[in-house]
């Protein structure tokens, strides 16, 4: 939203300055003030637990340009040319957030395909910026997959923020994927329960090399009213292994 906000600020400031200054001077003053404001906003971000972003600043600069173009279009004597300038300015202002929104929608669509229950958007706590991290994502044999790799020095793990969902209606996790290994490998699952994820529930299952599906059930008595995070991992082991995860599905209690 940096671009449209800065566009509105710039156009409004130029209009106010225009009451006391020449049009060209008012545009320069408004642009200078808006640039200073955009820089200040990024500079104070760390004070509020966020990080400054050059990308956000550049999006703001685009909005400032759009604001100047919108206000400057009023100086064009020809009405058709003025309308074209206004349309281009509006596109420049609203284009960036529309591009961002499209990217978010595509990510959400992919998340629903791979993790249909985890990102069910009928749940009130679904968050717009739900994402998987850290992970390595590849296109393998015309199919998208998340890849976990482990060897003697590094385990492989995938952490999913489950948004403190109530999982009392689920008994386990089904993993569909392709395992590249010399022999069967144990795939571990960990649930971090509670707001801070302080309580941990562990379970595991063995998967054979090649493509297959395994179901991992956590202990029946394990309470899962508020699951903060789901971790899928391959433990440290001298035998190298790589798991391509194509699909995850929560198993309902009645399926157990």
Q: 76 and 187 share a domain?
A: no
Q: 180 and 105 share a domain?
A: no
Q: What is the extent of the structural domain holding 143?
A: 136-255
Q: For residue 88, is pLDDT > 80?
A: yes
Q: 49 and 107 share a domain?
A: yes
pLDDT at residue 137, rounded to an integer: 42
128 part of a folded domain = no
Q: For residue 227, is pLDDT > 80?
A: yes
119 part of a folded domain = no
For residue 242, give the CATH number of its domain: 2.60.120.430
Question: Is residue 118 within 8 Å of residue 248, measured between CB atoms?
Answer: yes
Relative to beta strand 227-234, strand 136-140 is: unpaired
Backbone angles phi, psi at 16, to 5 degrees: -70, -45
194 part of a folded domain = yes
pLDDT at residue 116, rounded to an integer: 53
Q: 231 and 158 share a domain?
A: yes
C-alpha radius of gyration, the chain, whole number: 26
Using CB atoms within 10 Å of the CB of residue 75, give its burial: 0 to 12 exposed, 13 to 18 middle, 19+ buried: exposed
125 part of a folded domain = no
Q: How confident is the model at residue 205 (pLDDT cuts 50, 70, 90)?
A: very high
pLDDT at residue 145, rounded to an integer: 63
pLDDT in tens, 151-185: 888 888 888 878 788 888 889 999 988 999 999 99
pLDDT in tens, 115-143: 654 544 443 333 433 333 333 444 444 45
pLDDT (average), residues 101-105: 80
Calpha distance 134→118 (Å, rounded): 17
Q: 159 and 92 share a domain?
A: no
Structural domain ending residue among the three candidates 113, 147, 168: 113
Number of domains in the chain: 2
Give the pTM.
0.52
pLDDT at residue 210, rounded to an integer: 93
Q: 140 and 237 share a domain?
A: yes
Question: How distant, in Å, are the alpha carbons of 101, 219, 243 from that of 207?
Answer: 38, 19, 10
pLDDT at residue 233, rounded to an integer: 92
Q: 107 and 140 share a domain?
A: no
pLDDT at residue 15, rounded to an integer: 84
129 part of a folded domain = no
Q: 250 and 149 share a domain?
A: yes
Q: 237 and 144 share a domain?
A: yes
**Region label for 141, one of left (φ > 0), alpha (ψ between -120 and 50) or beta (otherwise):** left
Q: How confident is the model at residue 229 (pLDDT cuts 50, 70, 90)?
A: confident
Q: 86 and 186 share a domain?
A: no
pLDDT at residue 195, rounded to an integer: 72
57 part of a folded domain = yes
131 part of a folded domain = no
Q: 94 and 8 share a domain?
A: yes
Q: 141 and 232 share a domain?
A: yes
As given in the structure block, the two tokens for residue 128 are 């717009």
Structural domain ending residue among the three candidates 60, 81, 113: 113
248 part of a folded domain = yes
- What average pLDDT does the chain have? 79
pLDDT (average), residues 22-48: 85
């Amino acid at each position: 939203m940096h671009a449209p906000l800065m566009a509105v600020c710039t156009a409004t400031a130029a209009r106010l300055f225009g009451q006391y200054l020449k049009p060209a001077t008012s545009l320069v003053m408004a642009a200078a003030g808006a640039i200073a404001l955009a820089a200040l906003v990024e500079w104070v971000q760390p004070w509020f637990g966020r990080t400054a972003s050059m990308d956000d600043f550049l999006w703001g600069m685009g909005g400032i340009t759009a604001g100047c173009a919108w206000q400057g279009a009023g100086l064009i004597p020809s009405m058709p040319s003025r309308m074209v300038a206004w349309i281009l300015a509006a596109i420049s202002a609203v284009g960036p957030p529309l591009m961002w929104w499209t990217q978010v929608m595509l990510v959400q669509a992919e998340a629903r395909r791979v993790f249909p229950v985890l990102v069910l958007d009928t749940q009130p706590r679904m968050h717009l910026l739900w994402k998987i991290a850290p992970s390595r994502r590849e296109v393998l044999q015309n199919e998208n997959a998340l890849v976990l790799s482990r060897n003697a020095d590094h385990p492989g793990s995938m952490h999913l923020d489950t948004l403190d969902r109530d999982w009392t209606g689920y008994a386990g996790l089904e993993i569909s994927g392709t395992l590249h290994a010399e022999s069967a490998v144990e795939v571990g699952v960990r649930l971090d329960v509670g707001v801070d994820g302080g309580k941990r529930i562990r379970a595991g299952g063995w998967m054979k090399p090649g493509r297959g599906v395994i179901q991992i059930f956590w202990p029946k008595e394990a309470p899962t009213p508020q699951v903060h995070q789901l971790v899928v991992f391959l433990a440290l082991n001298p035998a190298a292994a790589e798991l391509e995860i194509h699909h995850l599905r929560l198993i309902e209690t009645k399926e157990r």
